[in-house]
Each structure stands twice: as C-alpha cells, then as structure tokens.
Amino acid sequence: MIITHQPVMVDEVIRYLITTPEGVYVDGTVGTGGHSVEICKRIAPQGELICLDIDRTSIQVAEERLSSFGQRVRIFRESYVDLDKALEGIGIDKVTGIFLDLGMSSYQLESSGRGFSFIKDEPLDMRMDQDTGITASQLVNTMPRERLQALLWDYAQERWAKLIARAIGEERRKGPIRSSRQLARLVEATIPRKHHPRKRHPATKTFQALRIAVNRELDNIADFLEKAPVLLVKGGRLVVISYHSLEDRLVKQAMRRWERDDMHPERLPVFPSTRPPLMRPLSKKGLRPGQAEMNINPRCRSAIMRVAEGI
C-alpha cells in the first residue's frame, strides 16, 4: 500500500502562493499531490497548475489524485532544476507562482522500498529518481573514507563522522553494505551507547547525509535559485519549504541577495536587457508551522517556509 504524504503548512502555502485564481502555478515537487490538490481547488476553474517530480511512483499517485481537475493540471517527470526547459517545452515564458516542498515524502520514507528508513530492511538505494544516478549502497561501498567522513559532517554535522566512516571502511572490506538495516546497525554499534541521541535513531544523521548526497539536494536547490527570478511574473511568488538548515540557508541567502540587488542597482548587469527581474522576501524571518499543526503532524516540526515576490 502506498502511504500518501500529509502536506505541510497548506494554509500558509495557499495564502502566499496564490495571488490570483486565474494564474499559472508550478508545484516543482508534487510528490503524491497533497499540496497540489489544495492549490487546484483554489485556482479552479480558471487557473492552471504545472507539476514536476523526479520520482516515477509518486507521479503515478499524483496523476490519479489530480485527474479530476482535467487539463488544468499538467504533470511532468522532470527535475525542478529544469523548470525553465519544461516551461519552454509547453510554450510558457513566466508563471504566477512557484512552490517547492523540499526533502522527502512520507511515501518515500515509508513505502517506497528504497532504503530511506533505518527502521526497515530494504535495499540501500535512496534515489528519488529511480532511473538515474548512483545508489547510497554504491556510494558507501566505493567512496574514499576521508570523503565519506567529510560528507557526513558537511551534510548532517555528524560529530561521529570519523568513527562511522572508519567502521564503514572496515565493514565493506568484509563484503558490500547492501541494506538499510545493515548500515543502521553498523552506525548504531559505532556511536558509543552513552552518546546515542534520546529522541532519534543514532543513524538518523548518516541517512540524512547520504540521501542529500545521492540526490544532490543542495546543488539542485542552489542551481534552481539561480534561475527562479526570471521565471516569475511581476508580483509572482516563490514559496519554498525546507526541512534542513543547509537548504534553508541557501534559500535565505538567495532571497537576501535578490533584495540587495534591488537596493543597489549598480550591482546589476550593465545592459538592461540582461537585467534579471528582482525579488524581495515577504518576511525577514522564515515562517514556521503553528502548534496545532505540529501536534497533528510531528514531521512538520522542522519545516521553515520562505516567500519572495517578483518586483
């Protein structure tokens, strides 16, 4: 059975993203369609929604859930990094709003069978796009130990990175690490018991770092943010929900940069024709889910939403 994802901060997403029901909107990470269903309800019957995701199974679920909205919704298996190309392919130059809900979905964690969860025993894959890239298993079995250590530190600030990388190096000499449980147990046995975190599994950070690396999550968000401003109409909104401080930092910094460019026109390229449209953040601080939502959906606790508007 496929577990669909409980969408996070839906009211806030709708409030900030939809400036007019007649607009063309993008859900760049449609997942199993939770946010998209709500966006469609608010923009029907005039508005349009373009959905992207790289996960084949999630897209199938989203297609089914969104089918009742007919041709107002178009779904593509495409990375949000290539949103510009996807829009060009359907003859759209600019859109009214772009929404990204980063991280992984409950479906991927709990029922994709791809080793995202340290609780289950599954092949250690962790690719969101099942058809390209290297798997987490390939990564842990081939990456030089020092790079593995750096990866665990850089992407998850795992203070036991050195010990874990060493343990992985020793384990893989006996034979390849193939399953999520095999890795989870290895990490659990490596971190001294008295330092095990109280509220989460000791392998949480290792799994997070590997997932980020396998899916190039930080590179993707950085590449997308370079392109985002030119894809929005004046007054159009970019709404991004992050679940990780490194992702959020990239979003926050991009939004500040766009704003600075606005205040200092001399920083802009010389030729007006190449001048990027500018954006301004709609709130200085990121928005957080309310307590009521956190009580119902504890997974939303780490969510932070940022919004910028084309000016």
Q: State the number of binding residues for ligand SAM (CB under 6 A).
A: 24
Pick from 17, 18, 26, 29 the residue near ligand SAM by CB under 6 A.
29
- Whole-number minimum distance, CB 32 to ligand SAM, in Å? 4
- Whole-number minimum distance, CB 2 to ligand SAM, in Å? 11
- Whole-number minimum distance, CB 87 to ligand SAM, in Å? 14
Binders of ligand SAM in range 71-110 (CB under 6 A) = 79-81, 101, 103-105
Applying CB under 6 A, which part among 50-58, 87-95, 157-165, 275-283 lies near ligand SAM?
50-58
Q: Which is nearer to ligand SAM, 60 or 179 (CB)?
A: 60
- Whole-number minimum distance, CB 30 to ligand SAM, in Å? 6
User: Which pair of tokens denotes residue 265?
Assistant: 């026109």
32 near ligand SAM (CB under 6 A): yes
CA triplet 236, 242, 247: central angle to 5 degrees?
Answer: 100
Pick from 31, 202, 281, 289 the residue near ligand SAM by CB under 6 A.
31
Applying CB under 6 A, which part among 17-25, 27-35, 131-139, 254-262 lies near ligand SAM?
27-35
206 near ligand SAM (CB under 6 A): no
125 near ligand SAM (CB under 6 A): no
Q: Which residues bind ligand SAM (CB under 6 A)?
A: 5, 7, 28-29, 31-35, 52-55, 58, 79-81, 101, 103-105, 128, 215, 220
